[in-house]
Structure 1
Amino acid sequence: MVVGACLAMLTAGCGSVSAPAPPGDQGAEATQPAKEQSGATQETAFPSPHGLPITVKEIGPTQAMVDLQVVTLFNQASKQAFSESMVELNDSLGGFVSAVRDSGQFQANALETLLITPPPGSIGARRLLIVGLGDSSQASLDLMKKVGAVVAREAVRERATSVAFAPTLRDQSFNKLDTGEVGAAVVEGAIPAYDTELRLQQQALDGCFAIKHLYYEAGAAYYSDVVQKVAPAVKEATAQVNQRSDEPFGKTGPQSKKCRI
C-alpha cells in the first residue's frame, strides 16, 4: 500500500496564500481564542501563524463538511474495537475501514496513509485520509505530533482548503493517552509543518496554496479538556515558528516569490 498517498483534490493558483511573514510578525496572531459559540455545537477558534484558524469543534468525522477529513487507525494486530464515531464512519462507508485493514492491503502501519473519495452522501467530507498508528502498545504523544505534521502536509499536497482531524483514539477503545494532550501534540506538529510548506512556496519550490481552516474534532465529554490544552500548544508552536531563520533552504535554488491572498 502506498505510504503518503497523494491524489489530486482542489487546485489553487498563485493567488491564494501570503508568503510566510517575518518571525517577529507571527507571535501576535496566536494569542486569544475566539469566543465559544452558543448552541448545541461548541467550537473555539485559535488564530495561528499565516492566518490559519485552528478550531476545536464538537463534531464527528462523518458530519464535517470539509474538503479533507482525517482519522487515525491502529493496525489489525492491536485488536482495538471500534466504538461510537468509528462505528458510524465504518458503517457509513459500508464497512470499508475495517475491511481494507483486515484484508492486509492497508496495514495501518505508523504514519502510513490511505486517501479515498467517499461515495456520494456517505459522509460530509469530499475526501477521507486515514493515517495509520501501527501497534497500539507503541502509541505515544510523539507519534501524534508526527501525525499532526502529516495532516498539514497532506492537506497542502491535496489542495484541501478546509481540513478536519479526528484523533479517534477513544473510538478505538484506546485510553492510554490523555485526550487534551493528544490535541496539543497534534497542533504542535501541524503548525510548524504548515509553516515549512509555506516557506517552500516562498522559495518557489511549490505552487501557492493556503489552508483556510483546520478543525480539531472532539467529543462532548472531552471538548473542554482539549480546548484547555490546545491553547498553550498553539502558543508554543507559534514561538517555534518565530525562531526559525528566514534563510532559503538552498543557496543555488530558485528565486524567492510572493504568494498573494
Structure 2
Amino acid sequence: MMLMQARHRLRAASSGKPFMHTADTSAPPRLPIGTANQVVFDVVAWGPARADVDLSVACMFEHEMPGTTMSGGLLGLDQALGGQLSRLRTTGAFRAQEMETLLITLPPAAVAARAVLVIGLGQPEQLNADTLRRATRVAMREAIRHGALSMAFAPSVLDAGHTDNAALNMPAVMLDGMLSALQAETDLAALGLAPPPSLRHCTFDVGAPRIASAGAAFAAAFP
C-alpha cells in the first residue's frame, strides 16, 4: 500500500456547479491510447483546471526550477483557485513534498472537475522516473478510492520549468504506474477484499501543440 506524508483538504466557499456537465461543442482534441481492466486511456489537450472529469490530478514541486515561475496548466489551476494553491505552498500548509497530497473536494466554478488532487513531487532538481511512477500510482489509487468514474492526470513537470525530460521516458513511466496500480486494485477486488473499481476513463493532460506527438508516444508505450 502506498505511503503519503500528509493529506490536506481545502474547501472553497462554493462549488457553483452541478455534478454533470452539458456537452461542449468546442471540445478539445482527444486521442486514444488503449483500454485495460475496463478503463479507457487517452490524451486530451487541456489543463487540470479545464479537465471535465470526476477527479483532476496535477503535480507540483516544492519550488520551480531556478530562474523560472509557475506556468502552463498548473498556473491555470492556481488562477482558477484564486491563487490559493501557490499560497498554501508559500505558507507551508502544503509543501509539495514527495507524494504529499492536497485534495480539493469543493472546487470553485472556474474548475471543471468535481474534485482536484495535487500530488507533491519534491525537489525539481531530484526528479527521476521512480518519483513520477509513484505519483501516477498515487493518482490512480486515489481516483479509485474517491469513487471516480473519470480522472485526468497532469504531471505538470514542464509547468515548473523542468524541460530536460527525455531521459525520464515519461509516457512509458506514467503508463506503467497507472496500469500497475489499476491492476493491483483490480486484484484486490477479485480477492473479495475491496469493491471493483468504478473508474472507466483515465486521461493524460497535454498541451495543444504536443497532442499529436504525445498521443503517438503514449500509444506506442501502451502494452
Fold agreement, TM-score > 0.5: yes
Aligned position for 1:223? 211
In the alignment, is residue 52 of structure 1 matched against residue 39 of structure 2? yes
Deviation of 1:198 after TM superposition, in Å, equals 0.8
Which residue is 1:174 aligned to? 162
Give the number of the structure whose residues are more often strand, by fraction. Answer: 2
1:234 match:
222
Show the counterpart of 2:59. 72
CA distance in 2, matches of 1:51, 1:103: 41
CA distance in 1 between partners of 2:46 and 2:64 (Å): 29
TM-score calculated relative to the size of structure 1: 0.72
Displacement after TM superposition at 1:207 (Å): 1.9
Give the drift of 1:46.
Answer: 2.3
Q: Is the 8 A contact 1:71 1:168 kept in 2?
A: yes
TM-score, length-normalised on structure 2? 0.83
CA distance in 1, matches of 2:98, 2:168: 21
Alignment of 1:113-152 (within 5 A): 113-152=101-140
List alignment gaps of at least 5 residues for structure 2.
10-25
Structure 1 residue ranges (4+ consecutive) displaced by more than 6 angstroms after TM superposition: none
- Pick from 76, 79, 91: which aligns with 1:91? 79
The percentage of counterpart residues that share the same residue type is: 29
The number of equivalent residue pairs is: 203
Displacement of 1:77 in angstroms is 7.6
SS at 2:102's partner residue? Answer: strand
Report the more deviating stretch, 115-124 or 131-140: 115-124
2-structure distance, mates of 1:77, 1:57: 25
Alignment-derived partner of residue 188 in structure 2? 200
Match of 1:183 in 2: 171
1:140–1:177 contact (8 Å) kept in structure 2: no
- Residues 209/101 of structure 1: CA separation in 2 closer, same or farther (3 Å cut): same
1:62 aligns with 2:62: no
Deviates more, 1:221-230 or 1:198-207: 221-230
CA distance, structure 2, for counterparts of residue 191 and residue 4 of structure 1: 24
Per-residue Cα deviation, 1:85-113 (whole angstroms, up to 9, x for no partner): 22221111011110111111211111111
Deviation per residue, 1:103-148 (Å, 9 max, x gap):
1121111111111124331200111100000000111122111111
Match of 1:3 among 2, 5, 10: 5
Shift of 1:40: 7.1
Selected match of 2:198 from 198, 210, 214: 210
User: d(CA) in 2 for partners of 1:125 and 1:40?
Assistant: 15
Where does structure 1 lack aligned partners over 5 or more consecutive residues? 8-38, 236-261
| C-alpha contact 1:56 1:227 (8 A) present in aligned 2 | yes
Deviations 1:15-52 (A, max 9, x none): xxxxxxxxxxxxxxxxxxxxxxxx87321112232121
